[in-house]
Structure formats: structure tokens, C-alpha cells
């Protein structure tokens, strides 16, 4: 058995970012850098999306994966996707690549005691950062993120109370757990799945066309929103640690995130018609592309079979909208001169507008609305949005990775970070990693020599 005591003491770091968040900008390269070390024990989407956001901001993220298998999304290929990848790289997919850039991959078997010991060693000793002008060269982990079922981390000896005992690093550790339903309550031990969480939280009930069955969003909104919430909570906890000197436990779930997204619809259900009995309560309606509180608001088909999305959020916009469409008289109709009136006459307004939109093509309508200041836009498909929309290029929303060894053509296109920081640039530091690509490198930093790493691999630990 290997000791968790470092074999080769590391030099005292010049900058120890484990003492808190440190944001730096390199004057020469203008690279945005947030100095955090994050141990990522998550899989699938919510957790990896959270840690990728932090990795994009410059955090040094170490993704721990099961030996020989890895994150299950490595095998989640869409129809025809196998032609993208070389045969010798079966454990790579576009799904995985979408949320795992700027991370290192280390394989560790957490069912093995030595695997758990190495995790604790990584927490207490840390690992070398991602290099560059502000490379993190010392100190333990700042954050642990996991999405195991409640109680599983504790059973492995990796619970928050266990890790808090790891000296000063443990005391300052920020520990974020994301599950399906949270650590307490009757559903705590149920596994979390995006669409199930959306269904139980009431979001699917209000999504889809009126009079038809509910539909789910085209992407996993519960997972993605949970990842967004978690990344913000982690940064808030880091800020708190700066004041208190101690870490904290963060708990979130797909279900809670989904419930929070009910916003105005949820408040209407809880606060209106409560005195009319269960059968007359407001339970939300499916409005397709419509809005429960605004009319017009939705998609309309044009003469060439394309669709535009338009809206009028106030009376001024409504009148301006009608003028642009060449139906100014509609904007003067007394039935429609208030938002309440427009909501009450939803069907008639939508019928009139749909007839008008069918008189011109999508491009003709876009030209008419250009410069109007009104809410409008084409309903684009992903190719139009990512490869043809001029704003996508202007805002660097597509990243092209060259010499990507798993791809047959050596090229991988990624969707770039949504947020930009003035005066600095977030760059791709690490391509989506192959399974265990950085295992030997990281173990070497912990003091394991090549013979010991081979023994760990042969024993199924890494």
C-alpha cells in the first residue's frame, strides 16, 4: 500500500491560490485567470457543465474518471457520429467534448482503497496548474464537486465531514454536491435524470402546444441550469471563504433547479384562485411559442416556409410593430390598446398576424424590422446559428481545435464561452481529454515513479 505522504517535497510555491480566489490578467497575453484548483468527481452534464464554466475562467480542473470506462457520455454518440472518430478512440463523443474542455482526465477506481487515498492526496497536496503566466504550482484543492447519490461519498470516506479533517486544506475546502433531488426528503435516494426532474417539477406540463401532449426542451435544461446555479454558488462560497477563512458545503439538485424555473407561472399557480377549490386552481397551460402574460409573443410562418419570432412587450412596441407590418389600424383598435386586452384577444391577434406574415419571405420581413428596436428574430436551426449568423462570428462563439487526435480529420469545433471579460481573453488551454490522458503526469507530481504507476494500473487502481 502506498502512503499518502509525498515522496518528494514540493518547492514552496510563489503563489498559493488555495488560500482563496485570485483573479489575474497577463499583460502580455491578456489571458483571464481565476486561481482555483477543482477536483471534479462528476459525470454526464450538470456537474461537468459547472466545472467547464469554471475551467473556462481559468480554474485548474482535474476530472476523475473510472478506469477503462470513464464518464458514460464518452459513449453517447448521436446517429452517424462514429464516422467522426477514429476506430482506436471509442471513448470520445461530441456530447462529452461539449462540456469537458480545459480539464485534465485522471482515472481512479474509487472502489479501491488506494484510489480513495489518492483522491485525498490530491486534495491535501494539489497538483501543478495549467501553466501559463499564472500557472498554479502548489497548494491543495480549493473545491470538490461530485454528483453521487447522497451517502455514496460518505460510504467511500470522501464525505464533507471526512474531508474537513484533512488539516488546513480540509477546513478551507468548498464541497459541492449535485444530485437528483437533494440529500434529504422522500426522493433523496432516487437517481436524477433531466427529463424526469422537469416532469416532476411541473415544467413539462407547461411546455408544448395547447391541446397536445407535453414536450421536453431540445436540450437538457434541468442539467444545464443546475450546472449554472452550482458554478455561481461555488464562486459565492469562495468569496465567503475570503472573509471567514473556512469552506462550506453546497447542496443542489436537478429537481430544485427545475422548480425554481417555474418563476411567474409558479407564482400564478400559488397565489391566484386559491379560494376556488382544487378543480379551479391555475395549473399552467401549454402555449407553444406563446407567452402567458404577453401578446403578441411567438413564432409566425413566412411565405417561404421559414419562421420569425416576434414580440411586443408594451403598448409602444405594439403600435410600432403594427406600423412596421403595414397594419397600423390594428394598433389603433381599442380592443388591443392594453396588454390585458391583447391577452384576452390572443387568438384573434395571432390569426391576423399569421395571415400578414405569409405575405412576405423571411428575409423580406427581417429587412422590414431591421433597425426598428422591436423584439424580432429568425427561428434558426443550429447550422444557421453557429456557422452562418454574423453575430456568432463577431463574438467568437465557435472554437476550432486543430490536431485533435481522436477525430479522423483532426478537427473538432466547440461552442465557446458565453461570457466575455473586458480586456482579457479566455482561451482553450486543454482540449477535451482522452480517458486518463493526464493520469501519469498527475501521479508523477504526487511523487509516484513509473514502476509504482504501472503497479497501480495493473492492480486496477488507475
In the predicted structure, residue 15 carries a pLDDT above the cut 60: no
Catalytic status, residue 273: no
CA separation for the pair 77, 75 (Å, rounded): 6
| DSSP letter (8 states) at residue 348 | H
pLDDT band for position 172 (cuts 50, 70, 90):
very high
**What nine digits make up the cell of 229?**
446555479
pLDDT band for position 1 (cuts 50, 70, 90):
very low
CA separation for the pair 203, 259 (Å, rounded): 8
pLDDT band for position 208 (cuts 50, 70, 90):
very high
pLDDT at 89: 98
In the predicted structure, residue 16 carries a pLDDT above the cut 90: no
CA separation for the pair 122, 166 (Å, rounded): 11
pLDDT band for position 423 (cuts 50, 70, 90):
confident
Q: pLDDT of 392-417, one tens digit each?
A: 999 999 999 999 999 999 999 999 99
Specify the pTM: 0.88
Q: Report the candidate in 67, 62, 70, 175 with the shortest Cα–Cα distance to residue 128.
A: 62
- 40 by DSSP, 3-state: which? strand
pLDDT band for position 12 (cuts 50, 70, 90):
very low
Helix and strand totals (H; E) in the chain: 19, 13
Which residues are registered as beta bridge partners of 345?
none
Single out the catalytic residue among 71, 130, 223, 275: 223
Q: Report the candidate in 385, 389, 328, 384 with the shortest Cα–Cα distance to residue 356.
A: 328
**What nine digits make up the cell of 421?**
471579460
In the predicted structure, residue 250 carries a pLDDT above the cut 90: yes
To the nearest 5 percent, what fractions of the chain are helix, strand and coil?
40, 15, 50
pLDDT at 10: 38
pLDDT band for position 184 (cuts 50, 70, 90):
very high
pLDDT band for position 81 (cuts 50, 70, 90):
very high
Q: pLDDT of 132-153, one tens digit each?
A: 333 334 579 999 999 999 999 9
pLDDT more than 70, % of the chain: 91
Q: How far is CA 246 from CA 82, 125, 233, 239, 442, in A?
A: 47, 18, 15, 11, 27
| Residue that has been written with the C-alpha cell 426542451 in this structure | 217
Mean pLDDT of the chain: 90
Tell me the mean pLDDT in the region 158-186: 96
pLDDT at 273: 85
Burial (CB count <10 Å: 0-12, 13-18, 19+), residue 239: exposed
Q: How far is CA 152 from CA 120, 196, 316, in A?
A: 16, 21, 56
Q: For the chain, which domains are there?
A: 17-259+402-458 (3.40.50.10540), 297-384 (3.30.1540.10)
The crossing angle, in degrees rounded to 10, of helices 221-244 and 46-56 is: 50
pLDDT more than 90, % of the chain: 84
pLDDT at 13: 28
Please state the separation of Cα 384 from the chain's center in Å: 22
Q: pLDDT of 212-247, one tens digit each?
A: 999 999 999 999 999 999 999 999 999 999 999 999
Residues making up the chain, counted from first to last: 462
* Strand ordering across the sheet containing 307-311: 297-301, 307-311, 376-378
Tell me the mean pLDDT in the region 11-39: 47
Tell me the mean pLDDT in the region 143-164: 97
Cis peptide before 296 (omega within 30 of 0): yes
pLDDT at 278: 81
Sequence-separated (6 or more) residues with CB below 8 Å from residue 435: 65, 68, 69, 70, 74, 91, 105, 107
Q: What is the DSSP string of 283-300?
A: -----TT--SS-SSEEEE
Q: Which of 135-139, 159-163, 251-255 has the lowest mean pLDDT?
A: 135-139
DSSP E strand boundaries for 66-141: 103-107
pLDDT at 101: 97
CA separation for the pair 250, 247 (Å, rounded): 10
H or E element: which one contains 179?
strand 174-179
Amino acid at each position: 500500500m502506498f502512503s499518502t505522504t509525498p515522496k518528494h517535497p514540493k518547492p514552496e510555491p510563489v503563489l498559493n491560490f488555495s488560500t482563496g480566489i485570485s483573479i489575474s490578467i497577463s499583460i502580455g497575453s491578456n489571458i483571464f485567470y481565476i486561481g482555483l484548483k477543482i477536483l471534479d468527481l462528476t459525470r454526464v452534464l450538470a456537474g461537468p457543465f459547472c466545472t467547464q464554466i469554471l475551467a473556462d475562467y481559468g480554474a485548474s480542473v482535474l476530472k476523475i474518471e473510472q478506469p477503462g470506462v470513464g464518464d458514460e457520455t464518452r459513449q453517447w454518440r448521436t446517429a452517424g457520429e462514429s464516422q467522426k472518430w477514429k476506430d482506436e478512440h471509442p471513448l470520445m463523443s461530441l456530447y462529452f467534448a461539449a462540456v469537458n474542455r480545459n480539464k485534465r482526465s485522471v482515472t481512479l477506481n474509487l472502489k479501491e482503497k488506494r484510489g480513495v487515498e489518492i483522491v485525498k492526496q490530491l486534495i491535501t497536496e494539489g497538483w501543478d496548474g495549467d501553466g501559463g503566466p499564472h500557472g498554479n504550482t502548489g497548494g491543495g484543492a480549493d473545491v470538490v464537486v461530485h454528483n453521487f447519490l447522497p451517502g455514496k461519498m460518505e460510504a467511500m470516506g470522501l464525505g464533507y465531514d471526512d474531508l474537513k479533517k484533512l488539516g488546513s486544506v480540509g477546513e478551507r475546502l468548498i464541497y459541492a454536491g449535485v444530485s437528483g433531488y437533494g440529500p434529504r426528503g422522500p426522493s433523496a435516494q432516487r437517481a436524477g435524470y433531466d427529463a424526469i426532474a422537469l416532469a416532476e417539477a411541473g415544467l413539462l406540463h407547461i411546455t408544448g402546444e395547447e391541446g397536445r401532449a407535453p414536450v421536453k426542451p431540445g436540450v437538457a435544461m434541468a442539467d444545464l441550469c443546475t450546472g449554472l446555479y452550482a458554478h455561481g454558488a461555488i464562486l459565492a462560497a469562495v468569496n465567503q471563504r475570503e472573509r471567514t477563512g473556512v469552506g462550506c458545503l453546497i447542496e443542489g439538485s436537478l429537481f430544485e433547479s427545475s422548480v425554481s424555473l417555474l418563476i411567474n407561472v409558479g407564482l400564478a399557480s400559488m397565489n391566484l384562485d386559491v379560494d376556488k377549490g382544487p378543480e379551479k386552481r391555475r395549473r399552467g397551460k401549454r402555449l407553444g411559442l406563446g407567452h402567458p402574460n404577453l401578446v403578441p409573443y411567438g413564432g409566425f410562418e413566412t411565405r417561404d416556409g421559414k419562421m420569425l419570432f416576434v414580440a411586443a412587450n408594451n403598448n409602444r412596441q405594439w403600435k410600432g410593430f403594427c406600423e412596421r407590418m403595414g397594419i397600423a389600424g390594428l394598433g389603433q383598435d381599442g380592443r388591443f390598446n392594453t396588454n390585458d386586452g391583447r391577452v384576452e384577444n390572443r387568438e384573434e391577434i395571432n390569426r391576423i398576424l399569421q395571415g400578414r406574415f405569409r405575405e412576405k419571405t423571411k428575409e423580406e420581413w427581417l429587412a422590414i424590422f431591421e433597425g426598428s428596436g422591436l423584439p424580432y428574430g429568425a427561428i434558426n436551426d443550429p447550422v444557421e446559428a453557429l456557422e452562418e449568423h454574423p453575430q456568432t462570428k463577431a463574438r467568437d462563439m465557435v472554437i476550432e481545435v486543430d490536431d485533435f487526435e481522436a477525430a479522423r480529420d483532426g478537427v473538432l469545433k466547440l461552442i465557446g464561452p458565453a461570457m466575455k471579460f473586458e480586456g482579457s481573453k479566455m482561451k482553450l488551454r486543454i482540449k477535451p481529454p482522452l480517458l486518463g490522458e493526464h493520469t501519469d503526469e498527475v501521479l508523477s507530481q504526487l511523487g509516484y515513479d513509473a514502476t509504482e504507476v504501472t503497479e497501480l494500473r495493473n492492480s486496477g487502481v488507475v
